Amino acid sequence: MKEQQQRLRVAALQIHIDAGEPEKNFDRVQKKLREAASAAVKPDIIVLPEMWNTGYALDRIHELADAGGERTRSMLAEFSRETGIHIVGGSVAEKKGNDVFNTIYTFDRHGNETGEYSKIHLFRLMEEEKYLAAGEKPGMFQVDGSAAGMMICYDIRFPELARTLALAGAKVLFVPAEWPKPRLHHWRSLLIARAIENQMYVIACNRMGISGETEFFGHSIIIDPWGEVLAEAGEAEEILTADIDLALVDEVRGRIPVFEDRRPQLYRLE
C-alpha cells in the first residue's frame, strides 16, 4: 500500500439522540453528515454514535427498530456513493425476525457495504439483555486496504475482544457508544488502554445530551497507537476530526514487538 493511502482524516459526529424518535434522529444525522462532508478538508471516514436511530427507548424497541437495517443501509450507502467517504455507521436498533440487535454497518467510498457487527456484550445496568439479542461474532472490515475492527460501548471493558481484532490484523478500532455520566475516567482509561496494549488507533464516537434521567458527557476521542490523544471533544455537539497515519501502527509494533513476545500457551491456570 502506498503511504498516502494510509493517511486518513477521520470525523466523529458527536450528536444528541432523541429516544424513541427515529424521524428526528435520521434528519439530524443526515444534516450532520452533510456538514461533515462539506468541511474545508473533506474527511475520508465519518463515524456515528451508538443506537442513533432510536436511542435507548428499549420498552418500544421492537416497534421502533429498523427492519433488516434497510432504511439505515440505504441512506448511508447513498451518502457514501455521493461523497466518496467511508462510513462507520455508528450502530442502530436492527430488527431481524423476532429479535432486535444493536448493529453497526460500514460502507466504502463507493457505497458498498463492507462490514456488519452486532454488539456481543449487552449492558445489564441498562437492561439491554431484556430487550436486545447479543451478537455472535467479532466485526472487521477494510479501509482502503487496511483492516479495521469494530466494538460497541460496553465491549471496551472486554480486552480479549480488542486483542482478537488486533491479532487478526486490525490497525484501527472504531467504537460507537452511548457512554453516560459519571464514568468519564473509565471511558478514557479503557480506550487509551485498548490503544496502547494493541498498538492501534482507537476512534470512539460517543453521544451527548440528556435522555430521560441519563446524561451523556460526549468526550468522543481519537487516540494513536502510543496511547496519545490526538483529539477529544467536550460535552457539546461537535464534529471531532483528526488525521491518522496507519503506517505508524507498523512502526510502533516493530519498535515494541508485543505480539511476537506473547506466550499464549502460558495464559491459563492448570
Burial string for 95-122 (b: 16+ CB within 10 Å, else e) reads beeeebbbbbbbbbbebebbbbbbbbbb
Alpha carbon 77 to its chain centroid, in Å, reads 17
Torsion-angle region of residue 49: left (phi > 0), alpha (psi -120 to 50) or beta? beta
DSSP H or E segment with residue 27: helix 22-37
Q: How many CA atoms lie within 13 A of 255 on its CB side?
A: 10
Is 193 in contact with 204 (CB distance < 8 Å)? Answer: no
C-alpha–C-alpha distance, residues 161 and 257, integer Å:
20
Grid cell locating 64:
421502533
What does the chain come to in residues?
A: 270
Say how far residue 154 (Cα) sits from the centre of its chain: 11
- Catalytic annotation, residues: 50, 119, 153
Query: Side chain identity at 147, as an amino acid letter?
Result: A
Q: Beta 113-118 vs 99-107: how paired, if at all?
A: antiparallel
